[in-house]
Amino acid sequence: MLPKWFNKWNQDNPTNIFGPAILVGVAGAAVFIAAMVVSWGNPAQTSSLQTGPRGTGMSVPEFNVVRLAADPTIEDYYTEEPYVPEGGEDLARDIYENVQVLGDLTEDNFNRVMNAITQWVSPEQGCAYCHGDGDLETYGEDTLYTKVVSRRMIQMTQAINEDWDGHVNAVAEVGVNCYTCHRGENVPSDIWFKVSPVNASAAGWSANQNQATSLSQSTSLPSDALEKYLLEGETIAVHSLESREAGVAGVDGYASIQDTERTYSLMNYFSNSLGVNCVFCHNSRAFYDGSQNTPQWGTASLGILMVQELNTDYLVPLQDTYPPERLGPIFADAPKAACKTCHKGYQRPMQGMNVIADWPELATTEAPVYE
């Protein structure tokens, strides 16, 4: 196929063609990768959020491909602008039966909110998820537990927006609504139930740890941190910095080693819930000194108090309302909330989207103000 002179020249001048071929291939691959990096960006490039003085390690690094990627649940978020009342319209409580919340809305806005809750919580089942398969005349009945729970969750959402502004709107007005937790699911992801003791064959402290569970973030740390701190309200603390302390740890004013391990378990949960590290809230040179913490620490502290209130005042009291399949698998306890229930791995839920702008009805227990 090739000229005879070429074949003869190759026979008379043999050489190793594999070395140059490999060199050309490597060079070509390098040029291709460089061109892709220039065109698409470096996939390993990071950006850092500085949380304290430079040179102290107080930064939260994150890969840009992760930081710039949109929360996938945002795409399915439903919203609709309110109908500004002209005055004199009939209210929902006067039109429909048994309207215990949102009764001061006009009919258009009431139905608008009901439709949104359906999209946020039960997009597949529709209105029947709370109201059953009957006609409109039966919608006032409280025969399904889902309707009773939903009513209480509306009240909880209003309380969060009204009473915990310092946490949910610490950076900018964003608020919360049903979608913040549910994301199109009947039951929100990242709720939690009691799981400790995790070792039935052990007693005392050993029964709470050394088993990888979802509540310990798959570590050997104690699995009862959420229960003790976000439900029972125990003091979050670590042991003393002194080598010797008078008295008894955990009794005389300073935390025990066991309490410290439980605190580490909670802090690990916080980090995973928000996708941050310890210095997002704490000063790396003085973890023990609360006065040197970052502003985010104050926001997080309000969040802890808020979650405690949500669990004790709204979620746990619903235990007898839920059917058995909605209760915890071990202790049949009510589902409870924590940081990850809203944040789901992001510093700000839904990456800081304002989810209350179109829903003033969920921002207050009073009559909504439309602008």
Q: What is the pLDDT of residues 209-221, one digit of tens each?
A: 888 889 999 999 9
Residue 95 sits in the same domain as residue 207 = no
Q: Would the pLDDT of 5 be above 80?
A: no
Residue 348 within any structural domain of the chain: yes
Does residue 279 lie in a domain region?
Answer: yes
Structure tokens at 8: 């003869």
What percentage of the chain carries pLDDT values higher than 70?
94
Does 183 lie in the same domain as 94?
A: yes
Measured CA to CA, the distance from residue 328 to residue 319 in angstroms comes to 10
Does pLDDT of 7 surpass 80?
no
Q: What is the reported pLDDT for 297?
A: 94
- What pLDDT digit, counting tens, does each position of 29-84 carry? 888 777 776 666 676 777 877 877 777 778 888 777 777 788 899 999 999 999 99
> Is 118 a domain residue?
yes
Greatest alpha-carbon pair distance for the chain in Å reads 104
Same domain (yes/no): 242, 352: no
**Does residue 91 sit in the same domain as residue 183?**
yes
Between CA 325 and CA 334 the distance in angstroms is 10
314-354: per-residue pLDDT in tens?
999 999 999 999 999 999 999 999 999 999 999 999 999 99
Q: Is the pLDDT of residue 9 over 70?
A: no
* Whether residues 282 and 174 fall in one domain: no
Read off the tokens for 29: 């691959």
User: What pLDDT does residue 15 have?
Assistant: 67
Residue keyed to tokens 């915890």: 328
Radius of gyration of the chain (CA): 29
pLDDT at residue 167, rounded to an integer: 97
Question: 241-246, long-range: CB within 8 Å, 24+ apart, which pairs?
Answer: 241/288
106: which DSSP letter?
B
Chain mean pLDDT for the chain: 89
Helix axis angle, 107-121 to 145-163, nearest 10°: 100
**Structure token pair of residue 287:** 């973890």
H or E stretch including 273?
Answer: helix 257-274
User: Which position has the higher pLDDT, 251 or 308?
Assistant: 308
Domain range enclosing 174:
72-189+344-371
Number of domains into which the chain is organized? 2
Q: Which two tokens stand for residue 333?
A: 């306890």
Q: Is the pLDDT of residue 17 over 60?
A: no
**pLDDT reported for residue 371:** 76
Query: Span 301-310, mean pLDDT?
Result: 97
Do the Cβ atoms of 227 and 194 come closer than 8 Å? yes
Query: Is residue 142 a part of any domain in this protein?
Result: yes
Residue 362: pLDDT band with limits 50, 70, 90: very high
Residues 56-71 pLDDT 10s:
778 888 777 777 788 8
Is residue 202 located within the same domain as residue 185?
Answer: no
Same domain (yes/no): 133, 202: no
Asked if residue 201 and residue 325 are part of one domain, the reply reads: yes
Q: What is the pLDDT of residue 355?
A: 97
CATH code where residue 228 lies: 1.10.468.10
Q: Which residue has the tokens 């008295």?
A: 247
Task: Convert the pLDDT of each residue in 117-166 to its tens digit.
Answer: 999 999 999 999 999 998 888 899 999 999 999 999 999 999 999 999 99
pLDDT 10s digits, 230-261:
999 999 998 888 878 888 887 888 888 889 99
